[in-house]
Amino acid sequence: KQWFQFVKPNFERYVEPQRKIADIIIPRGVENKVAITMVTQFIEKKLLEKSNLHRAKLKILGQSAGDHSLSENVLILEDTRQLQAMNTILQDDLTSAEEFIFYFDRVSTLLVENGLEPVGETSAVVVLRAGSSFETGLKRVSPDCRTGRILIQSNDRNGEPELHYLKLPDDIHTHDTVLILDPQLSSGGAALMAVQVLIDHGVAQDRIVFVTYFSGRMGLNRLTHVFPHLHVVVCKITGDIQERWIEKKYFGC
């Protein structure tokens, strides 16, 4: 009586449909630790193989992109005497935290201003935590600009970027311009993921503007090679991949 009244209906309602679509079924469930360990090790092995393949492709992409000139969609701030002076102060190790924040906010204002279109609705996506250093400049240029947050961190074991947090405006796909704010672009891995996340949420590639202060040439070429219609606004381009230092000086830690 219990079988027909409780067990069989629940089996047909919940268990049987899963059996039809499941890739693998482990007998005895959580008690079968040997089978669970084997499945877990197999998944870890496949993920590692995928990671190694992905890094190999990125390396090839970086080598091929490094031979190309900068995309016509890359806008470099005009190297005026004022900008030269501010860059000198920002890159001086003896610059105090107060001075660094003051001058970086001035430069970020110029970068955001060059990244915005004069018409249409605009939003910005801050790449945490470094991208928060752009928010003062953003509010100076567009006080009512809607912002989103995205957190991308590199895996300590394989170096691949991983998405940890995402919060975007619901109608971001309808906005005319979407800024991605990250003060430093090194290898380009996190930037590639950030742009791809926006594209996955319906934002057209030609409406995305990546705004950065300091960029390595290889990472920049890699980004524009993968997304040829992407717009980039940058202050200074270097030939080498450098350690991220801007957020450390801006936030003091």
pLDDT digits (tens, 9 = 90+) for 171-202: 898 998 999 999 888 877 888 889 999 999 99
Asked whether the predicted pLDDT for residue 19 surpasses 60, the reply is: yes
Q: What is the pLDDT of residue 156?
A: 64
| Identity of the amino acid at 144 | D
Confidence of residue 209 (pLDDT cuts 50, 70, 90): very high
If DSSP codes are grouped into helix, strand and coil, which group holds residue 214?
Answer: strand
Asked whether residue 205 carries a pLDDT value surpassing 80, the answer given is yes
Shared domain check, 34 and 139: no
pLDDT score recorded for residue 111: 92
Residues 40, 79 within the same domain = no
Q: Is the pLDDT of residue 27 over 70?
A: yes
Mean pLDDT highest for which of 17-21, 58-62, 206-210, 247-251? 206-210
Same domain, 54 and 113: no
The more confidently predicted of residues 148 and 216 is 148
* Bond into 222 cis (ω within 30): no
Question: 3-class DSSP state for residue 109?
Answer: helix
Question: Which of 19, 36, 63 corresponds to the end of one domain?
Answer: 63
In tens, the pLDDT along 157-169 reads 666 778 888 999 8
Helix axis angle for 217-226 and 189-200, nearest 10°, is 20
Mean pLDDT across the chain, nearest whole number?
84
Q: Are residues 143 and 48 in the same domain?
A: no
Whole-model pTM above 0.85?
Answer: no
Q: How far is CA 76 from the centre of its chain?
A: 21
Q: Which of 63, 89, 112 is the last residue of a domain?
A: 63
Closest C-alpha among 168, 167, 180, 176 to residue 122: 176
Tokens of 187: 């290898």
Based on the structure, what is the number of domains in the chain?
Answer: 2
* Pair 15, 82 in one domain: no
Write down the pLDDT at residue 66: 54
Cα 210 from Cα 182, distance rounded (Å) = 8
The yes-or-no verdict on residue 17 having pLDDT over 80 is no
Residue 249 structure tokens = 């000086």
Give the per-residue pLDDT at 20: 73
pLDDT tens per residue, range 98-155 = 999 999 999 999 999 888 876 678 899 999 888 888 999 999 988 888 999 999 887 7
Per-residue tokens: 190: 């996190």
Choose the final residue of a domain: 14, 30, 63.
Answer: 63
How much is the average pLDDT of 14-20? 74
Domain holding 23, by residue range, is: 1-63
What CATH number is given to the structural domain containing 115? 3.40.50.2020
pLDDT at res. 181: 93
